[in-house]
């Protein structure tokens, strides 16, 4: 993947406009999870050490072009300064005289955070006039927010056409990992796609069956596939109106020589609640009042063997209702097996998506995967094979 990297930037003595993702969890005006702040530090550090003024651009929540005090970025300044170990300045706007004066007063290597870019309606509209105003504040542009790269906004895409543009270090790491997983992967490549609905991952499934050697389907969407194949699924959740689509995906996988791994046994219960009595069933053995809530042990064992004979794994979505033990066993067992292979250097294991990250955290294996994306929508659109405007603008 050819994109301009931070190492290529002449940043000495320049003012760098850096798009970061500071859309962090907040409670009572305080940051409750500083993961995204920490993720921005390597790029901030690299630019500061080169003597650049570091001007941070970010959004918070959805103010829809208006000043909403509860959506100010000001509460982020103190925790960011603590992590950075140096003062972080703040400007009450991302354009105009106040921003200009604050940036001018910044010493070389200094860091400033500008106010929520979405306070301006032109941000989400990718308004050229606003883009020119913000671009006038800096000399170079750095995008370090992959999680917003699927949006064509002023600060994620527009600025890249007005200033010399580069990927930040977090963005670079993400793009390199994704390229290794699907762009030019080591084969065989195994994909795991879970979650509840086929309908929300239709583009994803259609793209993957043409690119993977094997695709395992789990979670509620596996019930839809089992129903489409004529298996009894009892009272399980399924999108029965998607049965024809499921059969089309099965056929497409066959034409592309992508081996489709559907459950061969399942875990069922009469009620979906923590600690509910559960039992393992074979396909077609589900009673009318039972619900399929997890992958069975034989299914997990077959998935582990598929991992053993794969060089690359890409994972999105849990295999069962992992938030509710005992229906977390399948996801946890598969995650631990994948993590063990990755830690031993036997597989490149890349995962992403909100539920996936939560499931891997639950299994205690996040540090052992090769790469875990927290980008959400951007990660999914990339897996679907869609062009991401914020990435495309950095290519060449």
**Is 197 among the catalytic positions?**
yes
- What phi and psi values does residue 29 have, to the nearest 5 degrees? 75, 15
Residue 301 makes CB contacts below 8 A (sequence gap 6+) with none
**Is 396 among the catalytic positions?**
no
Kindly compute the dihedral angle of the four CA atoms of residues 357, 358, 362, 368, in this order, to the nearest 10 degrees.
Answer: 10
Locate 207 and state its tokens. Answer: 């793209």
What pairs with residue 328 in β-bridges?
Answer: none
User: Which residue among 197, 206, 336, 386 is the active-site one?
Assistant: 197
Residue 248 makes CB contacts below 8 A (sequence gap 6+) with none
Locate 152 and state its tokens. Answer: 């064509």
Strand, coil or helix: 269:
strand
Element at 343 (helix H, strand E) = helix 329-343
Strand, coil or helix: 171:
helix
What pairs with residue 3 in β-bridges?
Answer: 395
Q: In what order do the strands lie in the sheet with 265-269?
A: 278-282, 265-269, 291-295
User: Which residue among 110, 340, 377, 385 is the active-site one?
Assistant: 377
DSSP state of 258: -
Cα 90 to its chain centre, rounded Å, is 28
* DSSP β-ladder status, 30-31 and 111-114: unpaired
- What phi and psi values does residue 388 have, to the nearest 5 degrees? -100, 115
Cα→Cα distances 35→11, 40, 91, 276, 352, Å: 26, 9, 23, 34, 15
User: Which residue among 14, 19, 36, 151 is the active-site one?
Assistant: 36
- What phi and psi values does residue 141 have, to the nearest 5 degrees? -120, 135
| CB 231 within 8 Å of CB 274 | no
**Is 210 among the catalytic positions?**
no
User: Which residue among 354, 376, 385, 386 is the active-site one?
Assistant: 354
Structure-token match 């760098």, residue found: 16
In angstroms, rounded to a whole number, what is the distance separating the alpha carbons of residues 131 and 159?
A: 6
Cα→Cα distances 347→304, 344, 361, Å: 12, 8, 19
Helical axes 329-343 vs 354-363, angle rounded to 10°:
80
**Is 354 among the catalytic positions?**
yes
- The catalytic residues are 36, 197, 354, 377
């Amino acid at each position: 993947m050819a994109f301009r990297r931070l190492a290529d930037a002449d940043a000495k003595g320049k003012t760098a406009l850096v798009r970061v993702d500071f859309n962090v969890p907040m409670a009572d005006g305080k940051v409750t999870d500083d993961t995204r702040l920490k993720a921005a530090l390597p790029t901030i550090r690299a630019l500061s050490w080169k003597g650049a003024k570091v001007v941070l651009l970010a959004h918070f929540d959805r103010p829809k072009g208006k000043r909403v005090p509860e959506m100010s970025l000001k509460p982020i300044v103190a925790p960011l300064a603590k992590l950075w170990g140096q003062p972080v300045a703040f400007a009450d706007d991302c354009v105009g005289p106040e921003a200009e004066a604050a940036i001018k007063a910044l010493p070389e290597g200094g860091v400033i955070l500008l106010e929520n870019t979405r306070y301006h309606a032109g941000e989400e509209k990718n308004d050229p006039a606003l883009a020119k105003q913000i671009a006038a504040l800096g000399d170079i542009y750095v995008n370090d927010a992959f999680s917003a790269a699927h949006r064509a906004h002023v600060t994620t895409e527009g600025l890249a056409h007005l200033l010399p543009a580069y990927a930040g270090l977090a963005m670079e790491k993400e793009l390199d990992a994704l390229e290794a997983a699907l762009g030019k992967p080591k084969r065989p490549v195994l994909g795991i796609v879970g979650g509840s609905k086929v309908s929300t991952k239709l583009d994803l499934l259609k793209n993957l069956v043409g690119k993977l050697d094997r695709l395992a389907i789990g979670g509620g969407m596996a019930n839809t596939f089992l129903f489409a194949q004529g298996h009894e699924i009892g009272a399980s959740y399924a999108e029965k109106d998607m049965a024809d689509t499921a059969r089309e995906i099965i056929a497409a996988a066959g034409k592309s020589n992508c081996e489709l791994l559907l459950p061969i046994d399942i875990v069922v219960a009469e009620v979906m609640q923590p600690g509910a009595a559960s039992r393992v069933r074979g396909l077609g053995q589900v009673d009318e009042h039972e619900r399929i809530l997890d992958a069975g042990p034989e299914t997990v064992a077959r998935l582990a063997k598929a991992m053993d004979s794969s060089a690359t794994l890409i994972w999105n979505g849990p295999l069962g209702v992992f938030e509710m033990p005992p229906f977390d066993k399948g996801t946890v067992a598969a995650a631990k097996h994948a993590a063990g292979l990755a830690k031993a250097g036997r597989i490149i294991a890349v995962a992403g998506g909100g539920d996936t990250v939560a499931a891997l955290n639950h299994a205690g294996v996040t540090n052992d995967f090769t790469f875990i994306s927290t980008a959400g929508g951007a990660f999914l659109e990339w897996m679907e094979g869609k062009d991401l405007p914020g990435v495309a603008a950095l290519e060449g």
